[in-house]
Structure 1
Amino acid sequence: MSTFKNKLGQAVGAPVANWRGCAHPRGAVIEGRLCRLEPVDADRHARDLFAAFSEDHRAGNWTYLPYGPFAGEDELHEWIKGTCLGDDPCFFSIIDLANGQAVGVASYLRIEPAIGVIEVGHIHFSPLIQGRSISTEVMYLMMRQVFEVLGYRRYEWKCDSLNGPSCAAATRLGFLFEGIFRKATMYKQRNRDTAWYSILDHEWPAARTAFETWLDSANFDDAGKQRQRLSDLMQPLLSVQR
């Protein structure tokens, strides 16, 4: 890492030349090959989302979220109207292009355009897309939007440190583990130690190559089995980060 000093000889951070800030992600429609991300709409999406979330019969997907499960479609509808229509968090519904149905949600949050920092969170993939390529494409599309379209410098992922699948997903997607903030918050009447992860703008090109190689149809055999794992494709990036 390069060292910079001010006129007093003190160590300082690298200069950021010609910085003008970033755009806000509000209102974006992000098109992919398998899915489309569009601003969540209670009237258009609540029915599909409730049906998709109901496929999680044990409601385990709600364990590490500060809300849910919802007792019925009307309750989910009201939650969307009351929680998901603001600028931060900025919620998107995930539309499966195979059938046009809303099958999950994700959001940008803690959005700081002035300094180029943004977080991804409130990710809720229904069982209809868990373990499918579409869920990885969602993360690729959101990351590409952040770095290539909006111009952010830092993209964050945070989760309960006890949420093993989320921690593993962060690493698989190219995020670097930065540490644990102890007793960072509480939800559902319990403590949460928060694990922090990030990926930076200069790391995005390597991550993009890994994502696009993995998502390419040539990476899957006739039975739909992957030939290369995304975690393996991310290894060159993860090695440099460390």
Structure 2
Amino acid sequence: MTTNDLGQPIGFPVPGWTARQRPPRAPLQGSFARIEMLDAATHAAQLYAANAADREGRIWTYLPYGPYAQESVYRDWVASMAKSEDPLFHAIVDRASGKAVGVASYLRIDAAAGVVEVGHINYSPALQRTAAATEAMYLLMKRVFDELGYRRYEWKCDALNAPSRAAAQRLGFTYEGLFRQAAIYKGRNRDTAWYAITDKDWPKIRTVYESWLAPENFDGGGRPKLRLSAMMQDALPA
């Protein structure tokens, strides 16, 4: 424990800390996924078509917007979000098909403290439960920690969103607590569950991702041999 001259406990030193750069608009390339800045002309039609496969609109339940009954309305939304600096929206492109099949963003970007959140995650059925889905999250967090040197990467979701909570833990985030009545959206209450990865957690988590994404972990049908959630158990903080 660190204490001051009065014997009071204080936070550990962060020597030489300086504000970090904001996330750039440069693309990210992986083996299964490519991350590009969201663009209406390039991505709106592809995303709308991919989202349409979710006929019940389940992917929109825990987002503050959508679903969209018309492509033109969705295109307008994409065009508006593409101009935003915070949230900073990205399209997730499946390299096998070359088509945009999902969206994610950096938001609440605090470059001075080295903290950023990942959110507005919307995976179409074509992206869900694929290697590209996992790799997209890895590429985004790798930029935050390895390229930009941030200290903390956050994930927040509606506490009732069981799939999102399970995904956070599978991806290496640690649960930090529940913020009751944190927001109102679509006319209903939201209790928010908080998760995070810190720069101290990241080296072990990165190693797990690198092992899981390695070509030898996939069989001839492109299916992973190892479960990421099981691999993460040893990497997560106690």
Deviations 1:189-241 (A, max 9, x none): 00000000000001111101111111122112223333211011111122xx1
Per the alignment, residue 100 of structure 1 pairs with 98
For residue 226 of structure 1, give the secondary structure of its aligned residue in structure 2: coil
Per the alignment, residue 132 of structure 2 pairs with 134
Match of 2:151, as an amino acid? R
Aligned mates of 1:169, 1:234 — CA distance in 2: 12
Aligned mates of 1:123, 1:84 — CA distance in 2: 15
Q: TM-score, normalised by structure 2?
A: 0.97
Match of 2:9, as an amino acid? A
Aligned mates of 1:160, 1:126 — CA distance in 2: 19
Residue 190 of structure 1: which of 178, 188, 191 is its match? Answer: 188
For the 8 Å contact 2:115–2:150, the answer to whether it is kept is: yes
Aligned mates of 1:85, 1:136 — CA distance in 2: 26
For residue 183 of structure 1, give the secondary structure of its aligned residue in structure 2: strand
Aligned mates of 1:165, 1:150 — CA distance in 2: 29
Aligned mates of 2:7, 2:14 — CA distance in 1: 19
Match of 1:167, as an amino acid? R
Show the 5 A alignment for 1:156-171.
Answer: 156-171=154-169
Deviations 1:40-92 (A, max 9, x none): 01111111110111111111110010000111111111112223421100000
Residue 70 of structure 2: which of 72, 86, 104 is its match? Answer: 72
Structure 2 unaligned runs (5+)? none
Match of 2:103, as an amino acid? V
For the 8 Å contact 1:26–1:90, the answer to whether it is kept is: no
Shift of 1:106: 0.3
Residue 116 of structure 2: which of 111, 115, 118 is its match? Answer: 118
For residue 109 of structure 2, give the secondary structure of its aligned residue in structure 1: strand
Aligned mates of 2:223, 2:51 — CA distance in 1: 25
For residue 206 of structure 1, give the secondary structure of its aligned residue in structure 2: helix
Match of 1:148, as an amino acid? D
Aligned mates of 2:2, 2:62 — CA distance in 1: 41
Deviations 1:97-122 (A, max 9, x none): 11221111100000000000000000
Between the two proteins, the alignment pairs up a number of residues equal to 238
Structure 1 unaligned runs (5+)? none
Change (3 A) 1:230 1:120: same
Q: TM-score, normalised by structure 1?
A: 0.95
Q: Which stretch has the larger CA shift, 31-40 or 192-201?
A: 31-40
Shift of 1:36: 0.9
Per the alignment, residue 222 of structure 1 pairs with 220
Per the alignment, residue 197 of structure 2 pairs with 199
Match of 2:235, as an amino acid? L
For the 8 Å contact 1:107–1:123, the answer to whether it is kept is: yes
Match of 1:35, as an amino acid? A
Q: What root-mean-square deviation, in Å, do the aligned CA atoms of Structure 1 and Structure 2 show?
A: 1.1
Does residue 176 of structure 1 match 2:169?
Answer: no
